[in-house]
Each structure stands twice: as C-alpha cells, then as structure tokens.
Structure 1
Amino acid sequence: MTATATSVQLKAAGVATFIVFGINGLVFASWAARIPAVTETLNITPGQMGTLLLCVAAGSLIALPTAGYVTGRIGTANTVRAAGLVAALAGVGISLSLAAESVPATAISLFFFGIGVGLWDVAQNIEGADVEHKLGRTIMPQLHAAFSGGAFVGALIGAGLSILGIGLPAHLLVIAVVVAATTFVIPKYFLARIPAAPQSSGEATTPTARSAWSDRRTLLIGVVVLGATLTEGAGNDWIAKAAVDGLDVTESNGALMFAVFVLAMTVMRFFGGKAIDAYGRVPVLRASMAAAAIGLTLFVLAGNIWLAMVGVALWGIGAALAFPMGMSAAADDPKRAAARVSVVSTLGYIAFLAGPPLLGFLGDVIGIRMALLVIGIPILVALVLAGAAKPLRDR
C-alpha cells in the first residue's frame, strides 16, 4: 500500500520510474544487439545460442513467481536495487566468461542475469501501475517507451562498438557499472510504501500470487500477454541474427535492423497512451496484433534489406503496446496489483524469454528467418482473447 502522494511526489515517482525502465532497456539491448558477436566469440550454432538464452529464461522464470511477494515485503524501490545489483554482477560474469571463451561460465552468468532482470521488471511495472492509477490517466505505454528507448540507445551503441571493433566484454563491464549506480540512487524517488498493519484472524488476508493464479481474468490476460510478447521477444533476440543469416548483411547492419525495430516500438509506446484512452484497450490490442502479424510476415519473406526494414518497423509498431496494456489490465484493482502483475508477468515471460531460444533450435533445421513464422500462431490466439483486457470499470 502507498501513502497519499502530492503532485510533486507523483511527478518525481513518474520520472524515476521512467528512468528505471530506460536503464532496463539499455541493459537488455546491450546483450541482445550483440548476440551475433556472442555466437562468433563462443563459436556456437543458433541452436546452442538458444540453449544459452534458455539460461536467461530459467533465471527469470524462477524469479518472476516470487516477485510479487518480494516487492510486497521490501517494496518496489528495494527490489529494484537488489535486482539491479544482481544484474550488474551477472553482467561482469558474462563479460569475464566471454573473455575466457567459456560457454559453461557464460551460461551460469546468464542465469543470474535472468534472475536480476525478472525481479527488476516486475517491480518497475508495479511501481508504474501505481503511479498510473494515482494520476488517473494511461502512462504505462510511455514507461515501456522508456524501455524501448533505452533498448534503441543500447542497440546503436552495440552497432557503433561493433564497427569500431570494441569487444562485448568491455562493453558489458561499462554497462554493469552504470546499472549498479543508477538502480541504487534513482528508486529513492519511488512512491513511499506504508507497511501493512498486522491482521487478526477474522480479517481478510492480503491477496497473494497463489490466489491470483486461480483468477480467471488474470489467467486470460496472462495468455494474451504470453502470445503477444512472444513477438516482441523473438524480435529482440533474433532480428539481428536473422538479418545477418537470411539477408546476408553485415553484423553492424543486423544491429541497425534491430535498432529500427526498437525505435518503432519506442515511438508507438510514446504516443500509444492517447490511442488507448481514445479507443480503448481491446481495439488497440487487436489492431496491434494484426500489425505485428503483417510486419513479421513481410520481414521473413522480403527479398532485400529495405523491404525487410519496412516489415521490421511494422512488426515493432504491432509489438509495442501489448505488454504495457497487459500490465495495466492486471493492475486494475490496486489491492491485488502486486500478485496479479506477478502472475501475468510470469505467463508473459514464458513466451518472452523461453520462446525465442526454442526458435533457435527450430532455426537450426529450417533457418532462423523461416522459424520466426511460427509465432504467427500465438499472435492469432492473443487477437482472439484480447477482450480479457477490458478494464474492470467497463464490465
């Protein structure tokens, strides 16, 4: 529960949350944009790279179900601090492991990186939903625009460092320092939490993740987010590699293709809040899924880099709003927000983190570009079930 906040405190909390989302995106893209460099450094196939990506997924999927409980106990600010420290230390581990060309050490480091990112993500979304609720207007897409903006900057940095021949180990060491510093300082501006009063045996207990798992609406929102975020996760992890392999472009051009994807997501998320307020979550969610399906198909079937780039941009536009809308829908009831956001995040991240590695295995058989067409199926499922995200006040 949060204390009553003044307008100044709300503004400060909103800015702080925006920055935390942006740093999170920077961290993610610093890794994702240079996946081709990792495969080259470690001399592994896309399928073996998929195994490494599963290590990130495993770490996050262990952290996510408990994230609601953790934030309820120590608050969103302290959770972000702890998660940022874990992610930063894991980044150092990844850097040293790549320098030593050790696949096992890289896998272990990526596992802990997944734990840090998972806790961090849930905490920042709970904080963002709380600020959004108190402001009385849609801001979650803008917060996720900060994530995409950070990812865009990270992708450009990755492309530039690749052109300059600067290795990924040195790149990740610098990022780790930035993460440790910012996640320690910025969360002090988050909304203050009032410790929950002890309850007597006759009082209702605080909603938990266990009870949220039995809530039909929460589960349906989670399935929608699961299908919708698979297209975002696949784009984040495989656009650069698919462009390099399928279009025969350089690594730097592959990173730039990824940058176009995250730029399209950033722009759509920045302006998407107004569209949601004007037309409603459900119509915008359905339109988003249609755009993602068209863009994905165009990218896979394009015969040249320019047409593929148009497809990537449309794909990014379509993938932009699904996850933030899912988080807002899960947090419609503030009293149950932490537990329900944790559940929806867990279901969404099953696709966001575990799906792309499985695409890597399929890519070994049919090529990673063609493998991406498989995600059209869960996109259609999300399109059909989008009505679950309808706001509670409209029911």
Structure 2
Amino acid sequence: MSINTSTKAGPALKAAAVATVVVFGVNGLVFASWAARIPAVTETLHVTSGQMGTLLLCAAIGSLLALPTAGLVVSRIGTANTIRASGLLAALASVGIALSLSGESIAGTAVSLFFFGIGIGLWDVSQNIEGADVEHRLRRTIMPQFHAAFSGGAFIGALIGAGLSNIGVGLPVHLLAIAGLVALVTMLTPRYFLPHTAAARPAEGEAKAPRGPSAWRESRTVLVGVVVLGATLTEGAGNDWISKASVDGLGTSESTGALMFALFVLAMTAMRFFGGRVIDAYGRVAVLRASMGAAAAGLCLFVLAGNVWLAALGAALWGVGAALAFPMGMSAAADDPQRAAVRVSVVSTLGYISFLAGPPLLGYLGDLTGIRPAQLAILAPIVLALVLAGAAKPLPAK
C-alpha cells in the first residue's frame, strides 16, 4: 500500500508515515490470523459459542487493563519502545496460544489470550498516537489510511487463514509463523518513528508546570469515547463473528466463512484508503452518521439474507459502514497534540469496551438465539453513535 505524504514532507516524516503503515498492517495481520480461524478454535477445544465468548473475553480483559495506562507508558518511553515491548509480548502470547491449542488446553489458551490482549492493547494505542502525530504534522486527514493498512493486513491474514484451513494446516503452526514475523517487524520498524522527547523534570526549586485536568473529566473526550464505543462494536462483532455466523447460520464451510470475513475486511480497507478525502470534503460528523447508517443496513442484510450472495453483499456494506468510525475517533481525540497521548488512551479505552468485550457478550447471546441473529443487538449502539456523533466535530484551531 502506498500513502501520499505530500512532496512538502521531509524524509523523516515520510519514513515515519511508511513505518506507521507497516506497524498498522502487521497488527491487522496478527488479529486476522486469530479471528479468521475462530471456528477452528471452537472445533479444536470442543467449546460452544458462549464458551468461545469467554475465551474472547480473556483477551478483552487483558486489553482493557492495559489501555488506561497506555498513554502514560507512551509518554514515558515513547511510541517506538512501546511498540517493541507490546509486539514482543503479543508474539510470546501467540506462541502460548499455539502450544495450548496443540495440547487442547482451554486454560492455557485463556491465559495466553489474556497476555495477547495486553500486548495488542498497548500496541494499538501507541500506533494510533504515532499516526495522529504524523497526521498533525502533515496537516491533512491521513488516519483512515493507517487504519486501511490495518484492514489490508487483516484481509491478507484472512486469505492466508482461509487457504491454510483449506489445505489442512493447523492453527498452531499458523500462529507460530505469525509470532516470528511480529517479533521481527516490531523490533526493527519503530526505528523510523518520529523522535520522542520525554517530559523534562523541573530543576530543584523550580515550580512544576501546571497540569491540565484529567482527560477522564473532559466532557468532549468522554463523549467522543462513547461515540467510538457505540460505533466500533459493529467492527468488533464483524471481525470476531462473521466467519462463525456464516458457518452456523448459512451452512457454509470453514474456508467460505473465512472468505466472508475477508470480504468484510476488504470493504473496510477500500473505504479507509479513500475515506480521508471523504472526511475532508464533508466533515467528520456527516461521514460518521452516514457510516453508521450503512453499517446498520449491511448488518440487517447479512443477518436476514436467505442465501450466501445476499449475505456477502450485506457483509461488504457492513464493512463500508464500520470503516471510518474508529480512525475518526482517534483523530478527534488527538486534535490538540499537547493532550493527544492521554486523550487517545481514554477514547481507546472506552472504544475497546465494545470493540473487545462486546463480541464475547454476543457469543453468550448466540447460545440462546444462534450467533447470526444475535448480531442484530448491535443496532442499539449504532443508534447511540448516530445521536452523539456531533461530539467528534474538530476543535477550533488555536
């Protein structure tokens, strides 16, 4: 994927933009390597949708514990070192998942997913902070393109997952290969990030600089987080359950379910790649509301369709609608560069409550109704995001 950084951008800024694209892309590849093969996990461990939801909740808890402190961690050690640490943790956790699946250990898988969630949570916040810094210096909307890299990596990961599933390669071997790639990329790529300067400590006898209010007490930041909370549930549910819902609700094969997930991710990728121009033309609020309308329509079509082809059309429209909400939320949180790290951490935390914890709850509901019709519950948070979308309006220039 190429990214337009403008001829006015210096070499260091261009290199940082490309490095950020790579880090986002590998993050998506890691995620899809797990998500696209969830049906294989349920079969290997002999668990129900509700029990699978519990395993997904382990990863959610890990991320939710990491996210509130991620802004502080980045402020202390910088985005590059945070990516290195979180990438290594995610790689080691992937090895743990692979070994646990080989031994058919539910407990081992749960523990490994917990640490996987911590690594992914820290990784996500730090890459978004780096992306917001690059966007601010370029002075144009580019965050959706970084998230397009994530979706593109997820699309490639989903295709790999479908192919490996089709030829009978087990998920443990798949995850071990991915772990090696993650460790390599997250150790080397951040060297091209923008330089980080830790906050200087005041000299002895010198008064400390006044601190602003906690970002958790800023009404706009919290409202943006609530919008992201409602909007990103549609993305998280699609990521985690489209493949399983296709297998259970439409009677498709596991490889076809993975391809349905790949279609969802491809639609997100395309929308994110061109979304920056749409946002610059029509504004965040209007695009956010239109996105949620498309997500609602696509979701209903996917759930209610009577055949695979209509469901595939619904999955694509669902992906288009889910594409821009999260990157717009990150951009809104980072409008003021001086407070970007802590505000992105707050918005990420609130957003991930739904992005990570929502899909496991849908798994429990799926035990009662079937996983495909359970997706209709997502309509409620979509409406919430529509109502509160005005909070994402850009801050006035200082």
User: For the superposition of Structure 1 and Structure 2, which TM-score range results when normalised by the shorter chain?
Assistant: over 0.9
Corresponding position of 1:364: 367
The alpha-carbon distance between structure 1 residues 94 and 205, as it changes in their structure 2 partners (threshold 3 A), is: farther
Structure 1 CA distance, aligned partners of 2:158 and 2:127? 22
Equivalent residues in 2 for 1:286-325 (5 A)? Answer: 286-325=289-328
2:209 is matched with which residue: 201, 204, 207?
204
Contact 1:199 1:205 in 2 (8 A): no
Structure 2 CA distance, aligned partners of 1:383 and 1:203? 42
Shift of 1:199: 3.2
Equivalent pairs counted in the alignment come to 389
2:31 is matched with which residue: 28, 31, 38?
28
Structure 1 CA distance, aligned partners of 2:245 and 2:210? 49
Shift of 1:205: 3.8
Shift of 1:393: 1.7
Structure 2 CA distance, aligned partners of 1:206 and 1:58? 30
Contact 2:144 2:276 in 1 (8 A): yes
Corresponding position of 1:253: 256
Structure 2 CA distance, aligned partners of 1:369 and 1:101? 26
Contact 2:9 2:138 in 1 (8 A): no
Corresponding position of 2:187: 184
Contact 1:21 1:144 in 2 (8 A): yes
- In terms of mean alpha carbon deviation, does 262-271 or 197-206 score higher? 197-206
Corresponding position of 1:169: 172
Corresponding position of 1:284: 287
Structure 2 CA distance, aligned partners of 1:26 and 1:148? 8
Corresponding position of 2:395: 392
Structure 2 CA distance, aligned partners of 1:352 and 1:56? 11
Corresponding position of 2:4: none
Residue by residue over 1:344-373, the C-alpha shift from the partner in whole angstroms, topping out at 9 and shown as x without a partner, is 000000000000000000000000111100
Structure 2 CA distance, aligned partners of 1:351 and 1:204? 36
- In terms of mean alpha carbon deviation, does 96-105 or 6-15 score higher? 6-15
Residue by residue over 1:168-188, the C-alpha shift from the partner in whole angstroms, topping out at 9 and shown as x without a partner, is 000000000000000000000
Find the residue that maps to 2:217 and give its secondary structure.
coil
Corresponding position of 1:228: 231
Shift of 1:11: 0.3
Letter in 1 for 2:236: G
Structure 2 CA distance, aligned partners of 1:237 and 1:223? 21
Aligned pair 1:8/2:11, yes or no?
Answer: yes
Corresponding position of 2:92: 89
Find the residue that maps to 1:392 and give its secondary structure.
coil
Contact 2:288 2:325 in 1 (8 A): yes
Letter in 2 for 1:175: I
The runs of 4+ residues in structure 1 deviating greater than 6 Å are none
Shift of 1:198: 1.8
Shift of 1:6: 6.5
Shift of 1:197: 2.0
Letter in 1 for 2:239: N
Structure 1 CA distance, aligned partners of 2:71 and 2:97? 27
Shift of 1:203: 4.0
Corresponding position of 2:105: 102
Aligned pair 1:343/2:339, yes or no?
Answer: no
Corresponding position of 1:113: 116
Aligned pair 1:50/2:53, yes or no?
Answer: yes
Find the residue that maps to 2:396 and give its secondary structure.
helix
Corresponding position of 1:266: 269
Structure 2 CA distance, aligned partners of 1:286 and 1:338? 26
Corresponding position of 1:330: 333
Corresponding position of 2:21: 18
Find the residue that maps to 1:213 and give its secondary structure.
helix
Structure 1 CA distance, aligned partners of 2:391 and 2:128? 19
Structure 2 CA distance, aligned partners of 1:142 and 1:94? 30
Equivalent residues in 2 for 1:123-142 (5 A)? Answer: 123-142=126-145
Residue by residue over 1:76-114, the C-alpha shift from the partner in whole angstroms, topping out at 9 and shown as x without a partner, is 000000000000000000000000000000000000000
TM-score by length of 2: 0.96
Shift of 1:49: 0.1
Letter in 2 for 1:234: A
Question: Any unmatched runs of 5+ in structure 1?
Answer: none
Aligned pair 1:381/2:378, yes or no?
Answer: no
Structure 2 CA distance, aligned partners of 1:260 and 1:126? 28
Structure 1 CA distance, aligned partners of 2:187 and 2:210? 32
Aligned pair 1:122/2:125, yes or no?
Answer: yes
TM-score by length of 1: 0.97
